[in-house]
Amino acid sequence: MAHIKLLNEELPGIVGLLNYRPETAKPLLLLAETLLRGPSSLTSGEREIIAASVSYRNDCHFCHTSHAAAAAAHLGSGLGLIDEIKAGLPNTSVSDKLRALLDIAHQVQKGGKHVTEAHISAAREQGATDQEIHDTVLIAAAFCMYNRYVDGLGTWAPQSNEAYKEMGERMAYVGYGKNT
Amino acid sequence: MPHIDLPAEYPGIRNLFVYRPETAAPLCSLAQVLLHDPHPTLSAGDRELIASYVSNLNTCKFCTSSHSAIAKHQLGSDLTLVKQVLADPETAPISDKLKGLLKIAAKVQSGGKNVLPEDVEAARKEGATDMEIHDTVLIAAAFCMFNRYVDGLATWQPDNETFYDKMGEQRAKEGYKPTSINFTLTEELQKS
């Protein structure tokens, strides 16, 4: 049970919180929509992988599984991607650029000052642009917020990977904060 | 030097807002709702203290200095009170309710799962409402984002108390609407 009395306790994870406080829900959803589905030279699948991987490192089951399911929907890869992200993508074909950006995201997860010039140079060597580095840092930082929000208020989360399939498809194909 | 090519004249998060207006819009709007818009029970000053306290735990100089100055102006106090809160909320001259909320904020900073039912219960005993607990958790979580954003891109963070104080006065008055942000303070800073 959540630490506070939500309006609808059946809604899992961040969904119940967004429903509880619509004033903060609005910018939180617009931020996710812009970062994960807005115009970018990184694909939405790549950006959802960054979100899911940071959430896994923050031990946030709801955010990790739902965003990994969204990545799977974007990439058409099947739900096996959820456990692949946990393991560091050993059997998934992703670009060296994405691997370098994930390194930066994992530093941000530990703390902003952990990102060094060496991490940035390594990403640049794989072709990462300034905007891709900027967005990677902000996606990782934003999930350090969403994860703490979801777990800090003690929300509940479905356990199985399969339970997130439809949610991930909705996040991928419909988006964040869309009513249709 | 910043990790990416940013316009040289703006400090901290301001620089990042100018660089990427698409993400600046929801970020400013989130800060506006959490810290500046009217709240049924938590004053803007108390909310700024939470922001400043968490930023200090994350060792983010720009965010700590800015939100300390905004808290000072919102509370109509001097910086001594803010510094006492940053050093140790337990011995600072603030309400027991705010002490309880700051304890929750510190738990959020170290990780969401660290907030325990007894932390929430303790704040409730001092009169904290569900909305106050919700907003405290989200302010603390949001500053775990803002701090990482500002430090993760190694933005320029001035060492000039007068600059932060003037900016704090302006933010306390005008809030965080992107349209209200003007850059004259930065120009003054460069001349000083």
pLDDT value, residue B181? 52
Distance, CA of B185 to CA of B147 (rounded, Å): 22
A84-94 average pLDDT score: 96
Q: Is the ipTM of this complex over 0.85?
A: yes
User: Does A152 sit within 8 Å of B3, measured CB to CB?
Assistant: no
CB within 8 A of A35, min separation 6: which ones? A47, A135, A138, A139, A142, B23
- Note the pLDDT of residue A1: 83
Residue A140 falls in which region: left (phi positive, over 0), alpha (psi -120 to 50) or beta? alpha
Residue A173 pLDDT: 97
CB of A117 within 8 Å of a chain B CB? The answer is yes
Per-residue confidence (pLDDT) for residue B192, from 0 to 100: 43
The pLDDT of A89-110, averaged and rounded, is 97
B149:A138 CB<8 A? yes
Give the whole-number percent of chain A exceeding pLDDT 90: 98
Chain A CA closest to residue B118: A3
Q: Is the pLDDT of residue A163 over 50?
A: yes
Residue B7 is predicted with a pLDDT of 84
CA A108 to chain CA centroid, Å, is 13
Quick check: A145 and B29 CB within 8 A? Answer: no
Q: Assess whether pLDDT exceeds 80 at residue A9.
A: yes
CA distance A141 to chain B (A): 4
Whose CA is closest to A138, among A101, A176, A85, A163? A101
- Check CB contact under 8 Å for B152 and A20: no
- What's the whole-number average pLDDT of chain A? 97
Query: Is A35 at the interface with chain B, CB within 8 A?
Result: yes
Sign of CA dihedral A123, A126, A132, A138: negative
* DSSP at A93: -
pLDDT of res. A13? 97
Instruction: Give CA–CA dist A14/A153, Å, rounded.
Output: 10
What is the pLDDT averaged over residues A47-73?
98
Looking at residue B179, its pLDDT comes to 55
Is this structure's pTM higher than 0.90?
yes
| Residue B183 confidence (pLDDT) | 46
Contact B58 A111 (CB under 8 A): yes
Hey, how many other C-beta atoms are within 10 angstroms of the C-beta on B93? 9
The Cα–Cα gap between A100 and A106 comes to 10
Mutate to test the interface with A, among B102, B131, B134 (most CBs of A within 10 A): B134
Interchain CB contact of A154 with B (< 8 Å): yes
Q: How open is the CA angle B38-B124-B100, to the nearest 5 degrees?
A: 80
Contact A18, B138 (CB under 8 A): no
Print pLDDT tens along chain B (192 aa). 899 999 878 899 999 999 999 999 999 999 999 999 999 999 999 999 999 999 999 999 999 999 999 999 999 988 999 999 999 999 999 999 999 999 999 999 999 999 999 999 999 999 999 999 999 999 999 999 999 999 999 999 999 999 999 999 999 999 998 655 544 445 555 544
Helices A44-57 and A165-173, packing angle to 10 deg: 130
Q: For residues B152 and A107, is the Cβ–Cβ distance under 8 A?
A: yes
Residue A37 has pLDDT above 60, yes or no: yes
Q: Are B111 and A59 inside 8 Å of each other by CB?
A: yes
- Chain A and chain B share a number of CB contacts under 8 A equal to 152
- pLDDT, residue A180, reads 46
